[in-house]
Amino acid sequence: MKIVVCIKQVPDTKGGVEFNPDGTLNRAAMLSIMNPDDRAGLEAALRIKDANPGTEVTVITMGLPKADDILREAFAMGADKAILITDRVLGGADTWATSSTIAAGIRNLEYDIIFTGRQAIDGDTAQVGPQISEHLGIPVISYAEDVKVEGDSVIVKRQFEDRYHMVKAKMPVLITALSELNEPRYMTPGGIFDAFDKEVIVWGRADLKDLDDSNIGLNGSPTKIAKASDKVRKGAGEKVALDSPEESVDYIMDKLLTKHII
């Protein structure tokens, strides 16, 4: 079985974010991590590999050269192959340009299952995975909470509002994973050492044959950022210490009445 896992290096937003003048994220100036939902997708692929000897897991990402870091991390977790798609002409891509580029890369590979994260914490669009499936012409099952392989099919427990769906689809299929899907394994010391000896395959624009230049990079992105800013800190607010619960209730009710909320 051949499994491809799409992973993304995203800014560690706990440390704050920085923007370029054109409104895009200044990724080079920020600490980065593997996107949490993508990590869950990788773990799901590795568990299938553990249960099905002979399975090969390939991770693929599009990004700056420093995205090599998360590919090495994937190696250390148990991935067999890693591919980095990087080229200056691919920079500034929105979801459409990103999915077009990654789909072109995946067309160079054999695959039965493709895992992506539900969404990335730097965009929260949840669009790239389903768009990749559309470009490749294969079914997609999104919001996966559990994944099982049964013969030439997958059975997926899919999150849906206040309940869940059980969905079965024949391979090849694309599955978008929730971070709640599993608890990703840790890298092993031996895996970390081995990861730095393995080859990361690097592809540029010239290696993506079935891709139109009008669908790549910033110029091929129909979504334009009108304005971007960091989070604005809220003030401390008004703090009042009253003597009894009754006084507190009266104070709150007076404020709500004054502001015409009630």
> Which strands, in side-by-side order, build the sheet including 56-62?
163-170, 153-160, 140-150, 173-177, 113-117, 2-6, 56-62, 81-85, 201-203
Residue 119, burial from CB neighbour count under 10 angstroms (0-12, 13-18, 19+): buried
Render pLDDT for 8-41 as a digit per residue (tens, 0 to 9): 888 776 655 666 666 666 656 667 889 889 999 9
Position with higher pLDDT, 215 vs 135: 135
Residue 86 per-residue DSSP state: -
Mean pLDDT of 208-225: 79
Question: How many Cα atoms sit within 13 Å of 187 on the Cβ side?
Answer: 17
pLDDT in tens, 117-176: 888 777 668 888 899 999 999 999 999 989 999 999 999 999 887 888 999 999 999 999
Overall average pLDDT of the 87-99 stretch: 87
DSSP character at residue 248:
H
User: If you compute the radius of gyration of the chain from its CA atoms, what whole number of angstroms results?
Assistant: 22
Three-class SS string for 48-61? HHHHCCCCEEEEEE
CB atoms within 10 A of CB 123: 17
User: What is the Cα–Cα distance from 171 to 194, expressed in whole angstroms?
Assistant: 31
At 78-92, the pLDDT tens digits run: 999 999 999 988 888
What is the per-residue pLDDT for 234?
Answer: 64
Residue 215 is encoded by which pair of tokens?
Answer: 């669908």
DSSP 228: -
User: Has residue 197 got a pLDDT over 60?
Assistant: yes
Q: List phi, psi (to 5°) of 50.
A: -60, -35
> Residue 43: its pLDDT value, please?
95
Average pLDDT over residues 88-106: 89
Q: Which residue has the higher pLDDT, 149 or 257?
A: 149
By CB atoms closer than 10 A (0-12, 13-18, 19+), residue 20 is middle
Q: Is the pLDDT of residue 250 over 80?
A: yes
Average per-residue pLDDT in the chain?
Answer: 86
